[in-house]
Structure 1
């Protein structure tokens, strides 16, 4: 048992090292795009902070969702944030599972490259809409009489640039149309729907997105229109941008993964073994299939039929 555990631990460690090596090379190629996407997250926060200076509290607008759903109130407002935090953290962890588990269909760097593209496009549209028209905030801290509803003019540019994180993000007002929480939720759910492997989790993810929508309205963080607009805008943005971006290689089909040609052999092992390790296949010597010699060259049994056909002049 001890020998088996040690062998499996050694295989897992080699797999993690190989995955890390490949992902780092992809990161070296895509780091500028990824950094741009991350920097835009700060710009989006800065824009949301800026519109708070323009916010004018007033009577809550008539809203169908408010009529149907009772208000959670200040004491239970954490329920919506707790669910969003669960969705966010669980999705981030899932995107890194190829480093450990064998059931993988994507490269983490390339996946986050696509995610950030979806987020940036959606957030840019959101900035345009909430600066076009400022609505009176429906949340308790944005209503008339609250000290947080209005922000005094900033005393310095530093005060604006620091955006009072995280307090300024949690208690922001004015950045309503459309919901930022739904942008992240829908982008994550659509991404898992395409690249995830568990049908039950896909169905559960969509159910959670619906529940998240209802909780946002019930907690009065947004008007119903903010959530409705997010549902069709984000889905359309993801649909069209996904068509423009080059598709990632599907690692679950059993085809050769996109392993960079210049990757160094680990522990003196041949590149073919590294390919198997990245695909989650066994790399034990006993599992290797016997190689057949064709015209002085060697190929795996899986390629023998193709090679023999080529020798005989048959095109399969």
Structure 2
């Protein structure tokens, strides 16, 4: 038993190290895109804080969602944040699954370059929108009489207690970007279905918690999906993981094939490769029996 555990640990370590080598090479080539995306996240945060200066508390606008959905109340407002945190953490961990699992369809660096491009495009539209018109915030701390409704902002808590950045919901931007990305590059159909169901529940909870008006959520649904559809067709497709041209070569010339087996499992069977081949930019889901003999629409 101990020999078996040691052998499996050795395989896991080799697979992990091979993945690190590959991802570091990709990181060296694409670091500027990641840095630019992270900087844009910071700028978006500054813009959301800046609009707080212009926010004026007032009567809550009439909203059909407020009539249809019962109000959670301040003591239960954390529920929507908990669901969002679950979506965020789950997607984040999934993007790093190639370091551990044999079955791998994506490169972590490249998938995050793509995700950040989606987020930046949506957030630019969001900043333009909420600076165009400031609505009275429906959240509890943004209402008339609250000390947090106007600046000075509440220190580092400004992320949770911002006001004025309403149309459209930032939580929905992240959730929809993550779910659509998994919809395209994920392999488990059941998880995809659960992910979409969770985003729908998240939409309802945001309104029920009075963090956004219904229009903020509705605009996010069609804006984010349209933006992702447009940008996804403009960006180059992610490379096929069955291709090994990104893997480092060794002096003996054999590491290329060995790393290929490490990154894609121990088996080099052609059937396994056919299952890993993307069709029209979409990866086959587990459980499908379709086999593809040639790479279609490759990079």
Return the TM-score normalized by structure 1: 0.82
Q: Give the counterpart of 2:165 among 153, 162, 175.
A: 175
Distance 1:180 1:108 in 2: 23
Distance 1:188 1:72 in 2: 26
Q: Does 1:95 align with 2:95?
A: yes
Partner of 1:209: 199
Q: Does 1:257 align with 2:244?
A: yes
Distance 1:215 1:151 in 2: 27
Distance 1:264 1:257 in 2: 10
How many residue pairs end up in the alignment?
Answer: 268
CA offsets 1:146-180 (integer angstroms, 9 cap, x no match): 0000114x9xxxxxxxx933x01100000000000
Contact 2:102 2:262 in 1 (8 A): no
**Whose Rg is larger?**
1
CA offsets 1:48-81 (integer angstroms, 9 cap, x no match): 0000010000000000000000111100000000
Partner of 2:121: 121
- The 5 Å alignment of 1:233-248 reads 233-248=223-238
Distance 1:121 1:26 in 2: 23
Partner of 1:34: 34
Q: Does 1:194 align with 2:184?
A: yes
Question: 1:47 aligns to what SS in structure 2?
Answer: helix
Question: 2:75 aligns to what SS in structure 1?
Answer: helix
CA offsets 1:110-132 (integer angstroms, 9 cap, x no match): 00000000000000000000000
Partner of 2:282: none
Q: Does 1:110 align with 2:110?
A: yes
Q: CA deviation at 1:266?
A: 9.6
Q: Does 1:140 align with 2:130?
A: no
Contact 2:244 2:256 in 1 (8 A): no
Say what the alpha-carbon RMSD is for the aligned residues. Answer: 1.7
Tell me: CA distance 1:228–1:90, structure 2 relative to 1, closer, same or farther (3 Å): same
Partner of 2:55: 55
CA offsets 1:83-102 (integer angstroms, 9 cap, x no match): 00011011100000000001
- Runs of at least 4 residues of structure 1 off by over 3 A? 264-270
CA offsets 1:9-49 (integer angstroms, 9 cap, x no match): 11110110000000000000000011000011110000000
Distance 2:85 2:245 in 1: 33
Distance 1:40 1:267 in 2: 44
Partner of 2:86: 86
Q: CA deviation at 1:270?
A: 3.2
Q: CA deviation at 1:269?
A: 5.8
Distance 1:270 1:105 in 2: 20
Distance 1:140 1:238 in 2: 32
Q: CA deviation at 1:267?
A: 11
Distance 1:265 1:5 in 2: 28
Question: 1:80 aligns to what SS in structure 2?
Answer: helix
Distance 2:244 2:92 in 1: 23
Distance 1:220 1:114 in 2: 31
